[in-house]
Structure 1
Amino acid sequence: MNPTPWDEERINRAALAAVHDPGSLDLDRPPEPGAAARRWEEVRSADTALGRRARALDPERLVEGWVRLGVRFIMPGDVEWPSSLSELTRCDRLDHQGLGGVPLGLWARGPLDLAESCDTAVAVVGARAATAYGQDVAVELAHDLARPGGRRGSQQTWTILSGGAYGIDIAAHRGALTAGGRTICVQAGGLDELYPRGNGAVLERIVDEGLVISEAAPGSHPTRPGFLARNRIIAALAGGTVIVEAAARSGALSTANWASDMYRQVLAVPGPVTSSRSVGPHSLIRDHRADLVRDADDVREALGPMQPELPREPVPEHRTDALNPEVLRVHEALPSRGAMGVEELSRAALVSLTDCLLALQELEDRGMARYGADGRWSVRLHG
């Protein structure tokens, strides 16, 4: 992808983003389009900690480093800027530890177009210390969502969003990559050093095939507030958020809270009641804050109407399903062993003698009853 040229507006806005912490209250009013240069000068001239940080930064030199790294800066007004991020303005920062707001911009590495990829995006997040069950679910879920033609033949493909962390996050990314689908990783730190290092091979593959983005400037290290601020980006970019596993105080529940505040769909995968990793999803489902989903088809159905209504899973038919109530009663009255006469059967089934004879004839035609040489009737087990 060809990055947008670094004009004065982009340089100044990127400089502002580099000195502000992600989701910080220091940025109470983002600059209007075309006003980044004036705001940058206001910040640089202020006798504050933020002003001192700004005066220590050389934007032109930093841009050279960002270009060498292959990082582009996406900002409001760009074709690649997702309009869904504007919905962050409706979230109350007091409910999210003072973090929030629309980001000044996002740094990005990778060939995918951010806005286009987020048109049909779903977040799959969960516990870092995930169980084998949770990781298997995340891989299969992401794989099936990222490829066309799920078990019920849907041609809708979804971009898988997650945070690249150990456990559920990286399992979801792996599932999407294995399917040859789209995946986006939202980092809490700078894109010059992808985090965590233990997931480096998968993260580098996302850089090559998908997209890695961050609100934090290159050179920034992940912080606890940074992770919480990152969660709002994941929730805002996705049409829905799936929680696979999460302990009672898991950061994944923060993503669910952000999604709820933006009136986005929250979905949760149930797990073993004996597992502490099931506490989060089960609490969301119990409190009616999330819908229960089992697989990718459930997610597709919940996140419609981006795809046509999916056909229902075929339910196995039983041979007795086609019988009307009177015929079914006669069939149920037939002994599992031995045989019975018509009069005895009519009494046992509580139907008239005539109705009993008609029912037995239908059962015989269906291969479900046998008339014996002794004039009595028995169950026929095989048609």
Structure 2
Amino acid sequence: MSTVPPPDGELLAVVFLSRVLEPGDTVGGRWLREFGAVEVARRLRYGGPRLAGVSDKRWAGLCARAAGADPGRDLAAAREAGVRFVRPGDTEWPAQLDDLGDARPTGLWVRGRPSLRIWALRSVALVGARACTQYGAHMAAALAVGLAEHGWVVVSGGAYGVDGAAHRGALAAGGATVAVLACGVDRPYPRGHTELISRIAQQGLVIGELPPGDHPTPSRFIVRNRVIAALTRGTVVVEAAHRSGSLVTARAALRLGRHTMGVPGPATSALSAGVHELLRDGAVLVTDAAEVVELVGDMGELAPDRRGPVLPRDLLEPDARQVLAALPARGGATPDEIARAARTTMDDAIAKLYELRSLGYVERHGDGWKLTRQALISAREGRERC
């Protein structure tokens, strides 16, 4: 019968602080950097000298929370739920989270088998409106499918709307996806996504800063977004109103020097207004997974050129196109008239006219030349393309 080795003092201190300190607490992060987890935990647990940066009232509140914290119990509950705790310095810790400085997570609770560090190396965040439109859901799913097919991990927040569509798209493509929650990873939120988050935990990863059993609050959703931004190579916003939380993720990505992208929507859509503002502020416009990969991927991972269809007349030499353009749309013209309109000599115009006739663009009528039906159709297609 295997036994679980007892946790070391440093681990117990970090787990303890994950229960006491709120995610994103930069003052607590500074304490950890200056004094270490063991000393900070000791002072909070036993009411030692107050650490600088908080009022007496705030310090008393932290000590009251510390009195109810039990890291051994949290670790036991995590093991029971198939959850592990990853702290800075561990092999599985994603080093890019250190870019958050003192706002770096104390640690992360991880549910799922893959290595978080390895998966995060090639990951993209897809975020957006909870109350998204059908267009937003379609774009999020299509992007996730495309990213999965390119071998990228899709990271999102597990919420309704764009988040859920992104996770489902990645799963449907047999790809990898990570849900970053604003609550304990053993209690999926929202409740309506319990089945989805459980499936993500089976095929991918569910992670969060809060210990087992902890519940989400509005502020925790906001600070959770910095983890999504820091963890990934880039963030794509699919739909977002002016006050959308997904814009917090995008702006955090900008501050961290990550690639920030937006999917445009209708100019009249309030749900795309935030994305359009983001694009004006310097985010890159993307419309499919290939364009995302071109931005976040390695050198040479280029999206295909976006061009309209090549028309037969596009393949003509410039001089021949000039002569062809000189013929009137109705009726015919003499070689002399065509040469003047094409600004060339009559001998050159006649040579090009015979070349065009062999290609089916013009036909001779007596002393004049006129466009064929094929040429008229080609000219109309050219005008429509413009």
Q: Deviations over 1:7-44 (max 9, x none)?
A: 33222211111111111244142536995333321220
- Aligned twin of 1:226: 220
Q: Measured at CA, do residues 202 and 33 of structure 1 come closer, stay the same or move farther in structure 2, by a change above 3 Å?
A: farther
CA distance in 2, matches of 1:5, 1:324: 80
Give 1:87-98 correspondences, 5 Å limit.
Answer: 87-89=99-101
Q: How many residues align?
A: 361
Question: Secondary structure at the residue paired with 1:160?
Answer: strand
Q: Which residue of structure 2 lines up, in the alignment, with residue 243 of structure 1?
A: 237
User: Partners of 2:19 and 2:134 in 1: how far apart?
Assistant: 38
Residues 201, 25 of structure 1: alpha-carbon distance in 2 compared, 3 angstrom cutoff: same
Are 1:86 and 2:79 an aligned pair? no
Moved more, 8-17 or 102-111: 8-17
Query: TM-score normalized by structure 2?
Result: 0.88
Alignment of 1:137-176 (within 5 A): 137-148=139-150, 157-176=151-170
Using a 3 Å threshold, how does the CA distance of structure 1 residues 137 and 308 change in structure 2: closer, same or farther?
closer
Question: For residues 207 and 173 of structure 1, what CA distance do their matches in structure 2 show?
Answer: 11
**Could you state the TM-score of these two structures normalised by the residue count of structure 1?**
0.88
Which of 100, 108, 111 matches 1:109?
A: 111
Counterpart in 1 of 2:371? 379
User: After superposition, what is the alpha-carbon deviation per residue over 1:125-153, rounded to whole angstroms, capped at 9, x for unaligned?
Assistant: 011111111111000011111113xxxxx
CA distance in 2, matches of 1:304, 1:59: 40
Give me the whole-angstrom Cα distance separating, in 1, the residues matched to 2:213 and 2:21: 13
Partner residue, 1:366: 359
Superposition deviation, residue 315 in structure 1: 4.4
Residue 349 (1) aligns with residue 350 (2)? no
**1:118-137 aligned within 5 A:** 118-137=120-139
| CA distance in 2: counterparts of 1:45 and 1:126, whole angstroms | 43
The one-letter code matched in structure 2 to 1:299 is V
What does 1:180-219 align with in structure 2 at a 5 Å threshold? 180-219=174-213
**Structure 2 partner of 1:316:** 309
1:245 counterpart SS class: coil
Separation in 2, partners of 1:307, 1:11 = 46
Distance 2:41 2:65 in 1: 12
Secondary structure, in 3 states, of the residue corresponding to 1:280?
Answer: helix
| Matching residue of 2:274 | 280
Q: Which structure's residues are more often helix, by fraction?
A: 2
Partner amino acid for 2:69? Answer: L
User: 1:71 is matched with which residue?
Assistant: 83
Quote the residue 1:154 is aligned against: none
**Secondary structure at the residue paired with 1:229?**
helix
SS in 2 for 1:140: helix
Q: Which deviates the most, 110-119 or 10-19?
A: 10-19
Q: What's the counterpart of residue 60 of structure 1?
A: 72
d(CA) in 2 for partners of 1:56, 1:202: 32
What stretches of structure 1 move > 4 A for 4+ residues in a row? 32-35
Q: Letter of the aligned partner of 2:122 in structure 1?
A: T
Tell me how far 1:86 sits from its aligned partner. 0.7
Q: For residue 177 of structure 1, what is the amino acid of its counterpart?
A: L
Percent pairwise identity: 43
> Amino acid of the residue matched to residue 23 of structure 1?
G
C-alpha distance in 1, partners of 2:106/2:82? 19
Q: Is the CA contact 1:85–1:237 (under 8 Å) kept in the aligned structure 2?
A: yes
- How far apart are residue 359 of structure 1 and its match? 1.3
Counterpart residue identity of residue 267, structure 1? M
Instruction: Determine helix, strand or coil for the equivalent of 2:147.
Output: helix
TM-superposed CA distance for 1:375, in Å, is 3.7
Residue pair 1:190, 1:220 contacting (<8 A) in 2 also = yes
Query: In 2, Cα distance between the equivalents of 1:324 and 1:4?
Result: 78
1:169-214 Cα offsets, whole Å, 9 max, x none, are 1111111111111100000011121100111111110011110000
Q: Any idea what the Cα deviations from partners look like across 1:212-236, whole Å, max 9, x if unmatched? A: 0001111211111111110000000
Deviations 1:300-355 (A, max 9, x none): 11223365334424642122223344322221122334433222322333322111
- Kindly provide the CA deviation profile for residues 42-94 of structure 1, in whole angstroms up to 9, marking residues without a partner as x: 220127221222122222222211110111000111111001001112xxxxx
**Rounded Cα–Cα distance in structure 2 between residues aligned with 1:18 and 1:164:** 22
Aligned-residue offset at 1:360: 0.8
* Matching residue's letter, 2:189: Y
CA distance in 1, matches of 2:92, 2:149: 23
